[in-house]
Amino acid sequence: MDTETLTNAQTVESYLELFFAFRTLPDTRRGRTFMEVSGYPHYENVSSNILAFYFDPAAEHGLKDLLVSAFLQMAGVKEVPPLSEVAVSRERGTDEGKRIDLIIDSEAFTIGIENKIYHWLANDLEQYAQVIDRLGLKKNIVIKAVLGLQRIQVPEQLKGGFSSYTYCQLWQHVRAMLGHYISNADPKWVAYLIDFMETTTNLAGQNMELQKTDQFFIAHNDLIEKMIAERNAFLARLKQKVLALCTMMSDLGVAAALSRPPWVYDGSCVVLDFVFLDAYAISFDLYLRPTGWEMQLFGRNNKSMGYLHKLISQPSLHVRAGNAPVVGNRHILQTWPIQTDLGAIKEAVCSWMDALINATKTASN
């Protein structure tokens, strides 16, 4: 075995080992939440608005004091006081013109929340604390909280008596209590709350340590890039085959029956277009994929599909295409392995073109 052959064999073996290693990794795919689909999950203003809505016991969600009670329990309040009038305000101003994300205020307690998704904690918490303490004067429960995806790891950042809590901590208490509130709640708003909970949980996971798949791609980066380069070269060779077949089809006498010269679509498909009776657009598509060649027959609109159905019922075409599998509106006429000689494919295609043309003749009689 020469050196080049040995090197190629070693490369293929390395790729196989890479694939086997990748297959052992856990599946990280998951469905997206509605908020993720909307593209707004990382916007702090959006999440603060949602929190304000659910913190308001009188809002139309019907969950009453669920979020307030869950938050108080999370903050270590063992006995949640009776909740009478609760006022929720957004962007409460300080004397210096700063704004606190959320204030939840009642006769029994005052809660001030600085909401953090991805932004750094650069707020003047001491200014915020002055406003919250003033509102909570003579109250037994005053909570100053930074609510975020992750806990604040540097205690020095938590000035003014603020404490750090995470969304995941809050949701643990919400889930534990949800069953007591859900019967009288609006199902729509319950679903939206659960979607919001899942979204923030997912965001928190993205901020955590690298997943095993991330570590895999980092560890094998060089080999993966080499494999991608090899695959791109392979795909380029396939495109050359498609161009070669297109040229061969253009040189055939039967190509005169086409409504336009053979052409290539997206680098991977030879297209042969017919227009019959000046009205029906019928086409052959010859796709070349890494799995091999595939020949499809279809009509380009509903009227043409109806005419094609009539053609396939004709004896010259029915014997060959009558039982062909149909995917969407396309008849899969024939497939070939990728290494099939182009001359053999050309002859088979010409035979199919003749059968189609003959079917048009018998269909007109």
Q: Is 8 within a domain?
A: no
Place of tokens 């901020």: 207
Q: Is 305 within a domain?
A: yes
Q: Is 25 within a domain?
A: no
Task: Give the C-alpha separation, 178 to 167, whole Å.
Answer: 16
| pLDDT averaged per 10 residues in sequence order, the chain, 365 residues | 56 75 64 64 78 91 91 86 81 77 88 78 75 84 87 75 88 91 89 88 64 76 87 93 94 83 95 95 96 96 95 90 92 96 95 92 81
Q: Tell me, yes or no, whether 195 and 339 share the same domain.
A: no
Task: Give the C-alpha separation, 102 to 104, whole Å.
Answer: 7
Radius of gyration of the CA atoms of the chain, in A: 33
Q: Tell me, yes or no, whether 188 and 256 share the same domain.
A: no
Q: Tell me, yes or no, whether 238 and 123 share the same domain.
A: no
SS3 of 183, please? helix
Q: Is 215 within a domain?
A: no
Q: Tell me, yes or no, whether 273 and 139 share the same domain.
A: no
Q: What tokens appear for 197 in the block? A: 């909970």
- Beta bridge pairs of residue 327: 330
Amino acid identity of 311?
Answer: L
Q: Tell me, yes or no, whether 194 and 235 share the same domain.
A: no
CATH number at residue 203: 3.40.1350
Buried b (16+ CB within 10 A) or exposed e, 164-185: bbbbebbbebbeebbeebeeeb
pLDDT of residue 198: 87
Contact 117, 44 (CB under 8 A): yes
**What is the number of structural domains in the chain?**
2
Place of tokens 């790729």: 15
Paired sense of beta strands 141-148 and 163-166, if any? parallel
Q: Is 295 within a domain?
A: yes
Domain-terminating residue out of 158, 176, 207:
207
Q: Tell me, yes or no, whether 233 and 191 share the same domain.
A: no
DSSP letters of 298-321? EESSHHHHHHHHHHHTSHHHHHHH
Q: Is 5 within a domain?
A: no
For residue 153, which of 126, 131, 110, 121 has the smallest C-alpha distance?
121
Q: Tell me, yes or no, whether 171 and 239 share the same domain.
A: no
Q: Is 307 within a domain?
A: yes
Q: Is 261 within a domain?
A: yes
pLDDT of residue 34: 66
Domain ranges, residue 113: 34-207
Amino acid identity of 35?
Answer: M
Cα 73 to its chain centre, rounded Å, is 36
Task: Give the C-alpha separation, 255 to 365, whole Å.
Answer: 24
Helical packing angle, 212-219 and 221-250, nearest 10°: 80
Q: Tell me, yes or no, whether 155 and 276 share the same domain.
A: no
Q: Tell me, yes or no, whether 241 and 182 share the same domain.
A: no
Q: Tell me, yes or no, whether 166 and 251 share the same domain.
A: no
Contact 272, 281 (CB under 8 A): no
Domain-terminating residue out of 159, 175, 207:
207
Q: Tell me, yes or no, whether 45 and 173 share the same domain.
A: yes
Q: Tell me, yes or no, whether 288 and 332 share the same domain.
A: yes
Task: Give the C-alpha separation, 262 to 19, whole Å.
Answer: 39
